[in-house]
């Protein structure tokens, strides 16, 4: 549509993912992922697909390989790739002058006296140390703070157990029709409110929604319910389902992304590989990580993501990422992958991405009110292919747009949006979409070597998805 926060018009500015997502189900006539040989691929950020339902309740074994044995160094040599260690220093020179021989009985007496003195000295030293406590250690140059004491807090294993017990009843598995086949795609979701609404990813239910296909959710007790799509957003990769019969389920408690800290413990809950009610844990690895997913203009999403190392796999899509006090702080949506067979599923390498819950709240509220989601635009195209990372290069500013009114020009390079540093076009789109229509944001721009600060008021754009 030719705007920064929409899909640009030409191929050079087309905001598609740098990597193709793994397929949900093999196309007709194509071999299944299990029949394909893994090829090395570049590290990829991909949306978690709707996982094909496992046949006969069996899960195929993951491709594994033993670690190669360590090669011992050759005699007198070193391991390949490592320099040989320096030669040992020469032994101390032995004095060859004659020594007086000490009679045996004298040696025995001396050894006994030394043993007795050692025992008495050790006992006295222990008593003095107990009396002086930490002061004697500090006086000897040792920092008392380095002495290990009782931990003031318990380990977080108990917290994870409590989080799982609290959130599992609010988490559901989703089965959706895919390419005309019922239950061919699976994902996860969580109960959003007491009115029977469930939040999940758009890419879990998009194919079923377009084809008016069947969608069902399964609660933690295995009960299945019919679901309808209230509305969905490809921009934010979110969808809200209406499941009237889940009103009896407890809604998940919602937290705030603004309070998250890097290193904070988190728990991911969902149905990876079709395995319902699976819990994994990790930490918040990074915040405000710009991530783009999707293969086409129709399904491209831009996420100001929460990055985590909690294991997230195909089938986790739409499930909650939860802090250790039991609040949902994100919706699991994408993973990075370092390999996998062509057309096959990709698995966790410890780099997963979740949509921040603050954005989920806003988008879900819009969908519940109008059935549609809105997002901010400025009315300019940006180059998402530039690789110099010196800012977002503006290719076209539309006449009469908010960008034009704010003074943005073709060829400008945007380096900041508000207080967020921008290194490329995707980063700029993500930074804009972290705000809401109607807000006025300061853009820092480099133009002909000079820096300019521009005020641009964000305009609303409504998604019209079937």
Active site residues: 203, 237, 317
C-beta neighbour count of 288 within 10 angstroms: 17
Alpha-helix residue ranges (DSSP H) falling in 168-320: 202-211
Q: Which two tokens stand for residue 194?
A: 């007491």
DSSP state of 437: T
What Cα–Cα distance (Å) separates residue 9 from each residue in 96, 297, 384, 395, 440? Answer: 91, 10, 12, 11, 25
Q: Which two tokens stand for residue 336?
A: 């990075």
> Rounded to whole angstroms, how far apart are CA atoms 208 and 204?
9
How, if at all, do strands 420-421 and 413-417 pair?
A: antiparallel
DSSP state of 61: P
What Cα–Cα distance (Å) separates residue 434 from each residue in 95, 422, 456? Answer: 79, 13, 15
Q: Is 306 helix (H, G, I), strand (E, B) or coil?
A: strand
> Rounded to whole angstroms, how far apart are CA atoms 181 and 214?
9
320 membership: H or E segment, kind and range = strand 320-323
Q: Is 122 helix (H, G, I), strand (E, B) or coil?
A: helix
Closest CA to 371 of 359, 379, 380, 363: 363
Closest CA to 392 of 416, 376, 408, 409: 416
Closest CA to 265 of 291, 289, 285: 285
196's CB contacts (< 8 A; 6+ apart) are: 242, 243, 244, 245, 246, 247
Question: Rounded to the nearest 5 degrees, what angle is found at the Cα of 196, between the Cα atoms of 192 and 198?
Answer: 40
461 membership: H or E segment, kind and range = strand 459-462
Q: Which residues pair with 269 in a beta bridge?
A: 279
> Rounded to whole angstroms, how far apart are CA atoms 6 and 268?
30
> Rounded to whole angstroms, how far apart are CA atoms 318 and 354?
9
435's CB contacts (< 8 A; 6+ apart) are: 376, 418, 441, 458
User: Residue for token digits 């190392």?
Assistant: 309
């Amino acid at each position: 549509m030719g705007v920064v926060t929409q899909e640009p018009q030409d191929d050079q500015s087309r905001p598609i993912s740098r990597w193709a997502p793994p397929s949900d189900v093999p196309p007709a006539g194509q071999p299944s992922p299990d029949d394909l040989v893994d090829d090395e691929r570049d590290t990829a950020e991909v949306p978690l697909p709707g996982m094909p339902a496992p046949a006969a309740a069996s899960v195929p074994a993951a491709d594994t390989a033993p670690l190669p044995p360590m090669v011992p160094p050759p005699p007198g040599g070193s391991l390949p790739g490592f320099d040989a260690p320096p030669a040992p220093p020469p032994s101390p020179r032995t004095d060859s002058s004659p020594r007086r021989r000490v009679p045996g009985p004298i040696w025995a007496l001396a050894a006994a006296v030394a043993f007795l003195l050692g025992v008495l000295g050790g006992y006295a030293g222990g008593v003095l140390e107990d009396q002086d406590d930490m002061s004697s250690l500090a006086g000897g140059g040792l920092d008392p703070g380095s002495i290990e004491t009782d931990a003031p807090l318990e380990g977080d294993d108990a917290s994870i157990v409590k989080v799982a017990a609290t959130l599992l009843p609010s988490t559901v598995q989703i089965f959706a029709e895919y390419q005309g086949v019922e239950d061919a795609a699976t994902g996860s979701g969580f109960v959003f409110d007491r009115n029977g609404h469930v939040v999940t990813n758009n890419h879990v239910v998009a194919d079923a929604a377009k084809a008016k296909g069947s969608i069902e959710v399964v609660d933690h007790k295995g009960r299945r319910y019919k679901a309808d799509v209230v509305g969905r957003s490809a921009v934010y990769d979110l969808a809200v389902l209406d499941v009237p019969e889940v009103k009896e389920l407890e809604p998940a408690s919602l937290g705030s992304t603004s309070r998250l800290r890097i290193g904070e413990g988190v728990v991911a809950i969902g149905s990876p590989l079709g395995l319902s009610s699976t819990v994994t844990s990790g930490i918040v690895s990074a915040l405000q990580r710009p991530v783009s997913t999707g293969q086409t203009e129709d399904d491209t999403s831009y996420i100001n993501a929460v990055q985590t190392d909690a294991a997230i796999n195909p089938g986790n899509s739409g499930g909650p990422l939860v802090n250790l006090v039991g609040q949902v702080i994100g919706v699991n949506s994408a993973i990075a992958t370092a390999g996998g067979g062509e057309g096959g599923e990709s698995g966790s390498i410890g780099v997963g991405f979740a949509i921040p819950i603050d954005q989920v709240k806003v988008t879900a509220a819009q969908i519940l009110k109008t059935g549609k989601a809105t997002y901010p635009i400025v009315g300019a195209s940006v180059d998402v292919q530039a690789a110099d990372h010196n800012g977002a290069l503006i290719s076209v500013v539309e006449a009469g747009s908010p960008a034009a009114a704010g003074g943005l020009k073709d060829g400008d390079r945007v380096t900041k949006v508000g207080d967020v540093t921008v290194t490329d076009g995707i980063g700029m789109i993500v930074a804009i979409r972290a705000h809401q229509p109607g807000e006025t944001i300061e853009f820092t721009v480099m133009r002909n070597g000079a820096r300019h600060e521009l005020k641009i008021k964000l305009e609303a754009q409504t998604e019209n998805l079937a």
